[in-house]
């Protein structure tokens, strides 16, 4: 079946521009996560949704980062006034249930380069 998809796969933004990254989770998955992965590092948690509710945004690095999932399916991660340190791969993952025993399914990521 279809997995998690993300778009665009690559994004180049000039410093100061706003960007929007889209995630289409697996249909029916309740949980949705966003992670940021810098070069050579493991992914780091940004934010978590249970259906349309954003239950944890403790990993968002600044108030320039904003995420939404208005209908409990597709999610958008928005970064305002991009900075060079925002350059990274942004990964989206979804999970069928909200308990720890369920695995997360990851998309291929969006590679953001801020110039």
Task: Give the integer Cα–Cα distance in Å for 76 and 33.
Answer: 11
Q: Which is nearer to other proteins, 15 or 41 (CB)?
A: 41
Residue span binding other proteins (CB under 8 A) among the ranges 10-18, 64-72, 74-82, 97-105: 97-105
Q: Which two tokens stand for residue 115?
A: 């110039």
Q: Which helix (H) or strand (E) holds 78?
A: strand 75-79
Q: Out of 21, 33, 77, 88, point to the residue binding other proteins (CB under 8 A).
A: 33
Task: Count the site residues for other proteins by CB under 8 A.
Answer: 29
CA distances to 10, 77, 83 from 110, in Å: 5, 11, 16
58-94 burial by CB neighbour count: b if 16+ within 10 A, else e? eebeeeebbbebeeebebebebeebeeebbbbbbbbb
Assess 109 for contact with other proteins (CB under 8 A): yes
Cβ of residue 55: shortest distance to other proteins, in angstroms? Answer: 5
Only segment of 14-22, 27-35, 63-71, 73-81 that touches other proteins (CB under 8 A): 27-35
Where do contacts with other proteins occur on this chain (CB under 8 A)?
4, 31, 33, 35, 41-45, 48, 50, 55-56, 58-59, 91, 93, 95, 98-101, 103-109
């Amino acid at each position: 079946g279809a997995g998690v998809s993300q778009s665009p796969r690559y994004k180049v933004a000039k410093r100061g521009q706003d960007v929007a990254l889209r995630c289409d989770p697996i249909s029916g998955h309740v949980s949705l996560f966003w992670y940021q992965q810098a070069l050579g590092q493991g992914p780091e948690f940004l934010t978590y949704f249970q259906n349309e509710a954003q239950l944890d945004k403790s990993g968002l690095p600044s108030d320039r980062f904003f995420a939404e999932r208005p209908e409990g399916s597709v999610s958008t991660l928005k970064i305002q006034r991009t900075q060079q340190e925002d350059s990274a791969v942004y990964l989206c993952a979804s999970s069928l249930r909200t308990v720890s025993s369920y695995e997360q399914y990851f998309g291929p990521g969006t590679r953001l380069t801020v110039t």
